């Protein structure tokens, strides 16, 4: 077989692609660190897919993949920062918009997943992350928000000291501020804005003096556009409202990111925070705590070879996949599902009944 005389195009390294993608994404995600992170995710997805080694790739799928918006944004020369692109006009669509195909023969989401499954080099945890990334496109805010019954708030008439004590007790760095009732959210307060009054001995000042405006979003809003909107407005928390304008819950950037990478433990999180004492007789527990730990606390949890965690015990006891707000009363205790990660129980509120 004669060798082709056509000059071969040098294949860029992953680092080169990462640098180009990061630069191209900065018009959509201005902070360089965030652009770098989204670029890394996109390159990981594109690098993971076959490049002509399978029959499907040789039949046009590889060429289609090279024409996705993500690859086009990486390979094309980045436009000047002042140039307006279609993506600039709709920044809230987020990084998944780069995975949207621009050619009619580009593979669908199902075909992308099939291609991924055919590649034996991709680890299972990497496949899970890619599936979660694609799954975000069809996810609404209400699916991952913290419901209103589990929100921690501070009233507008309360002092900075009260807010700080509540933050210390819950471990939250931000708290919604309300007037009269939970449906009257008037702002959000961050602990860093309360450090000054604490140091100056002005902790009796009202918390409203240091709060900032809250971002309100409907419960039906898709997660991906919300992520872009929160980044554009530099908001880490948004208040979710129902069709009548009442407070339905809250959602944070961390909630969205955890849908991809799993639970995030930062430098302020300790291992013992898997179980938090909210008040006397009330705990907030991570679904991953072992049944042995739960039994040691006196909870009416049974041990079995079929499961190892409290989440597994709840699934076996309920015999269905619960949703946030579902409750189980057993042995003088109430177990309420606070948060779900897809079909996995993430957080449980446990209360000893009188």
**What pLDDT shows up at residue 27?**
43
Of 111 and 66, which is predicted with more confidence?
111
Separation between Cα atoms, residue 262 and residue 265, nearest integer Å? 10
Separation between Cα atoms, residue 256 and residue 245, nearest integer Å? 23
β-bridge pairing 174-178 and 154-155: parallel
pLDDT in tens, 114-151: 776 777 777 777 777 677 677 677 788 888 888 887 88
Separation between Cα atoms, residue 159 and residue 325, nearest integer Å? 31
| 111-115, 193-197, 280-284: least confident range | 111-115
| 8-22, 104-118, 316-330: least confident range | 8-22
Separation between Cα atoms, residue 102 and residue 76, nearest integer Å? 15
Check pLDDT > 80 for residue 248.
Answer: yes
pTM, rounded to two decimals: 0.53
Check pLDDT > 50 for residue 167.
Answer: yes
Of 151 and 74, which is predicted with more confidence?
151
**What pLDDT shows up at residue 149?**
79
The pair phi, psi for residue 103, each rounded to 5°, is -110, 150
Q: Looking at residue 240, what DSSP letter applies?
A: E
As a three-state string, the secondary structure of 168-230 is HHHCCCEEEEECCCCCCEEEEEEHHHHHHHHHCCCCCCEHHHHCECCEEEECCCEHHHHHHHH
User: Where would I find the H helices in the chain?
Assistant: 14-25, 32-48, 55-56, 62-66, 69-75, 86-89, 109-118, 124-135, 160-170, 195-199, 223-232, 253-261, 291-296, 310-318
**What pLDDT shows up at residue 46?**
45
Residue extents of the structural domains in the chain:
14-138, 143-261, 271-352
pLDDT in tens, 232-245: 999 999 999 999 99
**What pLDDT shows up at residue 218?**
96
Domains 143-261 and 271-352 share a fold: no
Separation between Cα atoms, residue 50 and residue 63, nearest integer Å? 11
352 forms bridges with which residues in the sheet?
Answer: 333
Check pLDDT > 70 for residue 52.
Answer: no
**What pLDDT shows up at residue 6?**
43
The vertex-74 CA angle with 73 and 78, nearest 5°, equals 65
Check pLDDT > 60 for residue 184.
Answer: yes
| 4-13, 184-193, 198-207: least confident range | 4-13
**What pLDDT shows up at residue 273?**
65
pLDDT in tens, 295-322: 999 999 998 888 989 999 999 999 998 9
Separation between Cα atoms, residue 28 and residue 45, nearest integer Å? 19
Is residue 162 within 8 A of residue 125, CB to CB? The reply is: no
329 forms bridges with which residues in the sheet?
Answer: 334
β-bridge pairing 237-241 and 247-252: antiparallel
Fold held by 271-352: 3.30.465
CATH architecture of 143-261: Roll (3.10)
């Amino acid at each position: 077989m004669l060798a082709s005389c056509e000059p071969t195009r040098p294949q860029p390294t992953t680092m080169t692609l990462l640098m180009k993608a990061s630069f191209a994404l900065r018009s959509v995600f201005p902070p360089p660190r965030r652009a770098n992170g989204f670029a890394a995710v996109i390159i990981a997805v594109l690098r993971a897919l076959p490049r002509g080694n399978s029959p499907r790739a040789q039949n046009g799928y590889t060429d289609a993949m090279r024409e996705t918006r993500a690859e086009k944004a990486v390979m094309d020369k980045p436009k000047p920062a002042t140039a307006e692109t279609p993506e600039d006009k709709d920044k809230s669509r987020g990084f998944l918009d780069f995975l949207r195909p621009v050619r009619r023969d580009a593979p669908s989401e199902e075909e992308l997943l099939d291609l991924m499954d055919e590649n034996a080099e991709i680890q299972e945890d990497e496949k899970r992350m890619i599936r979660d990334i694609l799954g975000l496109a069809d996810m609404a805010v209400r699916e991952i928000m913290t419901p209103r019954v589990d929100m921690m708030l501070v009233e507008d008439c309360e002092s900075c000291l009260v807010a700080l004590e509540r933050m210390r007790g819950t471990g939250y760095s931000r708290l919604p501020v309300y007037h009269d009732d939970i449906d009257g959210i008037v702002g959000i307060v961050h602990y860093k804005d309360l450090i000054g009054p604490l140091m100056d001995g002005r902790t009796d000042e009202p918390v409203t003096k240091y709060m900032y405006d809250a971002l309100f979003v409907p419960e039906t809003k898709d997660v991906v556009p919300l992520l872009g909107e929160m980044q554009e407005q530099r908001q880490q928390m948004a208040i979710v409202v129902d069709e009548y304008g009442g407070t339905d819950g809250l959602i944070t950037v961390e909630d969205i990111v955890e849908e991809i990478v799993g639970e995030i433990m930062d430098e302020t999180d300790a291992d013992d925070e898997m179980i938090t004492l909210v008040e006397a007789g009330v705990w907030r527990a991570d679904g991953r705590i072992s049944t042995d730990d739960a039994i040691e606390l006196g909870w009416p949890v049974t041990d079995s070879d079929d499961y190892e965690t409290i989440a597994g015990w709840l699934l076996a006891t309920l015999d269905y996949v619960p949703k946030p707000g579902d409750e189980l009363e057993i042995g003088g205790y109430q177990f309420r599902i606070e948060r779900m990660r897809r079909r996995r129980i993430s957080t449980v509120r446990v209360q000893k009944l009188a």
